Amino acid sequence: MSETKLQPLAELQQLENADYRPGKIFVATLKRELQLALRRRSDLVNPLIFFLMVATLFPLGVSPEPTILATLAPGVVWVAALLSTLLAMDSMFRSDYEDGSLEQILLSPQPLFVVVLGKVLAHWMMTGLPLTLMAPLIAVMLFLPAEGMSGLMLSLLIGTPTLSLVGAIGAALTVGLRKGGVLISLLVLPLYIPVLIFGTAAVEAAVTSLPLAGHLALLGALLALGVALAPIAIAAALRISVSG
């Protein structure tokens, strides 16, 4: 077995030997996933490049007029962020499935709920958080008024974790398939619609100086619901995919 496959398995053994307290397991899982993600740097850069390409090509296909771009900027940024997050979703469980680590995680006595939550958080830190930090640059390119920057950042900061949680359900259901990327899109895109609507509405409210607390509260409610229910659904989907 090659060294590249031995390293994840060695890290998995450290995870299995960790204290069974949920906090310890969560930290160990998060640390392991971040280390593995840093070794696959292309997976980290691809969503950012895609995000930048969509924002760059959109004015060429629609209109370079600043007034038109400023009107469409909230929706464009949010759709680009949504698709960029979806682009990196297929690799969340794929490497663990291919090297056998996923089966060991499912058979281990550790609570799968906590392990899955740690993997999703690591995915968001490597995709959703960089996209959120890059969003102001894209917004400036699209002539988004300065008043909308706060709404854009806050909505993405609250909404992108929900995208990772929901997308992880689709990734778990298709982990055993060779070409599951398209199927993930079909499964999770309808579930992304509420996040997209409230996120875009929050930016538009900030631009027009209207209260955006209601939109952010709805995004927060979706995030709380996702944190409570999505890991359970992800764990069940992983067991179905691996056993099937």
| Interval 184-231: pLDDT, tens | 888 888 999 999 999 999 999 999 988 889 999 999 999 999 999 999
Return phi, psi of residue 2, to 5°: -70, 160
Distances 2 to 33, 55, 97, 185 between C-alpha atoms, Å = 19, 40, 16, 33
Instruction: Look at residue 14 in the predicted model and tell me its pLDDT.
Output: 53
Encode pLDDT of 170-180 as tens digits.
888 888 777 66
pLDDT at position 181 is 66
pLDDT of residue 213: 92
The residue among 241, 237, 226, 222 whose CA lies nearest residue 112 is 237
Domain ranges across the chain:
3-243
What is this structure's pTM? Answer: 0.86
Q: How confident is the model at residue 112 (pLDDT cuts 50, 70, 90)?
A: confident
pLDDT of residue 193: 93
- pLDDT level of residue 3 (50, 70, 90 thresholds): very low
Identify the band that residue 12 occupies on the pLDDT scale cut at 50, 70 and 90: low
In the prediction, which pLDDT does 2 show?
A: 42
- What's the mean pLDDT in 93-98? 81
CA distance 110 to 107: 9
The pLDDT value recorded for residue 45 is 85
- Residue 9 CA to residue 6 CA, distance in Å, equals 5
Helix axes 66-87, 41-61, angle to 10 degrees: 150
pLDDT tops 90 at residue 97: no
pLDDT of residue 104: 83
Q: Rounded CA gap, 122 and 154, in Å?
A: 20
Which tokens sit at 194?
A: 């509420």
Over 70: is that where the pLDDT of 20 sits?
no
Looking at residue 102, what is its pLDDT? Answer: 81
The answer to whether residues 196 and 78 touch, using CB atoms and an 8 Å cutoff, is: yes
Share of the chain above pLDDT 90, in %: 36
> How confident is residue 11, by pLDDT bands cut at 50, 70 and 90?
low
Question: What's the pLDDT at 195?
Answer: 95
For the chain, the average pLDDT equals: 84
Query: Comparing C-alpha atoms, which of 187, 179, 133, 186 is closest to residue 160?
Result: 133
Share of the chain above pLDDT 70, in %: 90
How many beta carbons lie within 10 A of that of residue 12, not counting itself? 21
Is the pLDDT at 99 greater than 80, yes or no?
no
107, pLDDT greater than 90: no
Q: What are the tens digits of pLDDT across the range 114-164?
A: 889 999 999 999 999 999 999 999 999 899 998 999 999 999 999 999 999
